[in-house]
Structures are given as structure tokens and as C-alpha cells.
Chains A and B, each alone.
Chain A
Amino acid sequence: DADVTQTPRNRITKTGKRIMLECSQTKGHDRMYWYRQDPGLGLRLIYYSFDVKDINKGEISDGYSVSRQAQAKFSLSLESAIPNQTALYFCATSDSGSRGRLEQYFGPGTRLTVT
């Protein structure tokens, strides 16, 4: 089984709808991240969480919110989806150990299309 899972893998939704993307991990890591990937722009950080009670905005958090329900679960919500939020979304985890925190482990991605 994959260490970092994301659901759904693909989603098509309409403008204005609320949508939640979910991420679960079995690696026992305390740090989790949400990125979006757009062609030609690479990956950009949306939110990150260093533990259950610590959530921080990344470089492009507008229009998004997150919830860290447990150490293993980190959800990303789009309160009112808009077409320019069409992208590939990745969840990642890392360990807070002195060296381990430097490597991130990525989920398979969720392809979101907003029409």
C-alpha cells in the first residue's frame, strides 16, 4: 500500500462549488504539505502543517483552507471553486527529525478541473 494517499484522484466540479481533497499518510510523519502544480510553473506551496496544532500559509493560500484532523490526515478545501484553481494537487509529508525533515514524500496527486 502507498505511504501517502490522496482522494479523489480525479475530480471535475463546477464554479462556486465547495470541494475537499483529502490526504492520508502511514509514514508516521508529523509534517504535511499541500502543493499545486501548473504547467510551466512548477509546484507552489499552498499550506503546510508542522503538527496537528500548527498550520501555516504558503505562497498561494488565497481561496484555500486546510484542516489537520489528525497527525495522519490533512485536508485541503476550496470553499468556492473557480476555473483558475484547475490544477494538479499534491500532498507531501516529512519527518521532523534533524535529517529526515529535509526529504518530502509525495502522494500520487489529485487532478482537479473546475468548469
Chain B
Amino acid sequence: AQSVTQLDSQVPVFEEAPVELRCNYSSSVSVYLFWYVQYPNQGLQLLLKYLSGSTLVKGINGFEAEFNKSQTSFHLRKPSVHISDTAEYFCAVSVVGGTASKLTFGTGTRLQVTL
């Protein structure tokens, strides 16, 4: 079975500062990797995904993530955050294969951006 670890439950950051949200995964088979964002009182929406190819993936709202197979990581980064980026961020994995649409989520990281 696969699992996802998001070690940081909360990350406070000042506006216009860079941020990195960490995600590590465990799986005995190849995986697809995702980052979802949940704004207050809303459902989740996809930020970006890694399926194959280039290990640097760009998503919406200026976010990017890098897949590192040797370190089993998929950290999310943004060079300059905005107040509107305040939200909860979830890393998720699915296995390559027939049930690829089944997602396993991490516990989430709450990003708090302040002035």
C-alpha cells in the first residue's frame, strides 16, 4: 500500500516571501503525484500533477513542484506568496495501473500568509 507524509501541519509565511511545502511518499510501485488546494469553506481543486516526463511540474497560481524519485519526495514551491494563497494544501498519490484514480491523501499543510 502507498502512503503520504506531510510533516508540516502549519506553515506561517509573510506575503511576498517564498514557501516550500514538503511531501514524501512511500510505495512499492510506480506512482502518480498530485497537489490539491482547499480554500476556506470550499472543496479541493487540483493545483498540479506529475504523471511522467519532466520532474519539474508547473501548476496554477504560480506554484510548481519537483518529483524526486530517489528521495521519494514531491515538494511544492512558490517564489512569492500572496495573501490569497492562504489555504490548506494536500499532497496525494495514486498507483500506476488499473485503479490509478484512487487517491491516497496526506494529512494536509495549512499555509497561513500574513502581511
- Bitwise interface map of A from 57 to 98 toward B, beta carbon under 8 Å scored 1, else 0: 010000000000000000000000000000000101010100
- Size of the chain B interface, CB-CB below 8 angstroms: 24
Contact A43 B105 (CB under 8 A): yes
Contact B103 A106 (CB under 8 A): no
- Bitwise interface map of B from 17 to 38 toward A, beta carbon under 8 Å scored 1, else 0: 0000000000000001010100
- Bitwise interface map of A from 15 to 32 toward B, beta carbon under 8 Å scored 1, else 0: 000000000000000010
For chain B residues 8-63, which have a beta carbon within 8 Å of chain A?
A: 9, 32, 34, 36, 41-46, 49, 51
Contacts of A101 in B (CB 8 A): 100-101
CA distance A103 to B46 in the complex (A): 7
Contact A42 B105 (CB under 8 A): yes
Contact A41 B43 (CB under 8 A): no
CA distance A41 to B108 in the complex (A): 8
Contacts of A96 in B (CB 8 A): 101
Question: Smallest Cβ distance from A11 to chain B, in angstroms?
Answer: 16
Contacts of B107 in A (CB 8 A): 40-42
Contact of B101 among A58, A102, A106 (CB under 8 A): A102
Contacts of B94 in A (CB 8 A): 102
Does B74 belong to the interface (CB within 8 Å)? no
Those 7 A-B pairs whose CB atoms lie nearest each other, nearest first: A106-B43, A42-B107, A42-B105, A101-B101, A43-B105, A106-B44, A94-B101
Query: Could you list some 14 contacts between A and B, CB below 8 A?
Result: A31-B101, A40-B107, A42-B6, A42-B107, A42-B108, A43-B103, A45-B103, A90-B44, A99-B51, A102-B94, A103-B34, A106-B45, A107-B43, A109-B42
Taking Cβ atoms with an 8 Å cutoff, the residues of B that contact A are 6, 9, 32, 34, 36, 41-46, 49, 51, 90, 94, 100-108
Known: A42-B108, A45-B103. 19 other contacts (CB 8 A): A40-B9, A42-B6, A42-B106, A43-B90, A48-B102, A50-B101, A90-B44, A92-B43, A96-B101, A102-B101, A103-B34, A103-B46, A104-B103, A106-B43, A106-B44, A106-B45, A108-B42, A109-B42, A109-B43
